[in-house]
């Protein structure tokens, strides 16, 4: 079996490996509140050989906590098999460059036992800037065999978060924008604010604003150490609904740390009026 792949690959590397038989490229472009927009963008042009999977489709479940619960094991397994993704297939996921939808697939694949997955650094924007080829052809692949084996310890629910949020050995990281974290705005969820005790590290700060690429591992490690990542035993990441938190989880991995996902995130927490909310 291949070793676990690097969390990131560049456009140059991908361009050199487009013809690899064991490679599957997944276009994860998606826009919150605009169902179908990512698929439309995909149909207008995508990286050659790419299929399309997004958060409003196979990358979320129909039942579970929050707005974007995890897809169930059998359903996700069936999607992978239909897409020609077997245990030894190398997967490269990309989005528009913000890192979140592609990181969601990166995390889901690893959660279900598929370690050979990377995110295209800079996403579609980087691919275009590099002069990468564009296709409108919708590929069809022969089915593969994949057995999903979820790592259930990687996920926590609201009861676990409530029990450990005051524990000094636990760091709770909120990936949303600072305005949402402080409770100044709340465009979609039941209540404004954040989980008491959580530290804010917006997922957008993981991306270099000048290059559109992920920060370097040493930069990410310094950023996480500044909020105490090297002083705790457990880190739990959350966001609005469990999508952008995956960007922070990927960044943690790059920085040499590991974290858990609060699946329902703020959409789940804020819907429970018995749970406290902090502002400021």
Using CA atoms, how far residue 135 sits from 3, 40, 41, 113, in Å, is 30, 13, 12, 30
Cα 252 from Cα 241, distance rounded (Å)? 19
Cα 122 from Cα 13, distance rounded (Å)? 13
- Strand 199-200 and strand 170-174: pairing? parallel
Residue 107 contacts residue 261 (beta carbons within 8 Å): yes
Residue 88 contacts residue 197 (beta carbons within 8 Å): no
Residue 84 contacts residue 139 (beta carbons within 8 Å): no
Residue of 28, 237, 239, 246 marked active site: 239
Active site residue 239: yes
* Of the candidates 103, 109, 108, the residue with the CA atom closest to the CA atom of residue 85: 109
What are the tokens at 29? 């472009």
Which are the catalytic amino acids?
239
């Amino acid at each position: 079996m291949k070793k676990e792949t690097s969390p990131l690959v560049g456009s140059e590397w991908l361009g050199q490996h487009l013809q690899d038989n064991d490679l599957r490229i997944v276009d994860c472009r998606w826009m919150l509140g605009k169902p179908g927009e990512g698929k439309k963008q995909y149909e207008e042009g995508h990286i050659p050989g790419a299929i399309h999977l997004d958060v409003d489709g196979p990358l979320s479940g129909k039942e579970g906590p929050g707005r974007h619960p995890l897809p169930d094991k059998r359903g996700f397994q069936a999607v992978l098999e239909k897409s020609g993704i077997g245990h030894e297939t190398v997967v490269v996921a990309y989005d528009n460059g913000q890192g979140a939808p592609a990181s969601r697939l990166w995390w889901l694949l690893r959660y279900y036992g598929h370690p050979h997955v990377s995110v295209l650094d800079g996403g579609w924007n980087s691919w275009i800037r590099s002069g990468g080829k564009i296709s409108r052809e919708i590929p069809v692949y022969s089915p593969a065999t994949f057995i999903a084996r979820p790592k259930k310890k990687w996920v926590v629910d609201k009861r676990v978060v409530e029990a450990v949020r005051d524990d000094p050995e636990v760091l709770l990281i909120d990936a949303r924008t600072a305005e949402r974290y402080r409770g100044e705005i709340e465009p979609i969820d039941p209540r404004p604010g954040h989980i008491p005790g959580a530290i804010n590290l917006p997922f957008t700060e993981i991306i270099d604003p000048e290059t559109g690429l992920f920060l370097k591992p040493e930069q990410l490690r310094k950023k996480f150490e500044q909020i105490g990542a090297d002083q705790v035993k457990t880190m739990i990441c959350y966001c609005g609904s469990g999508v952008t938190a995956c960007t922070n989880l990927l960044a943690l991995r790059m920085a040499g740390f590991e974290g858990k996902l609060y699946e329902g995130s703020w959409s789940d927490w804020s819907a429970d009026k018995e749970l406290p909310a902090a502002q400021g």
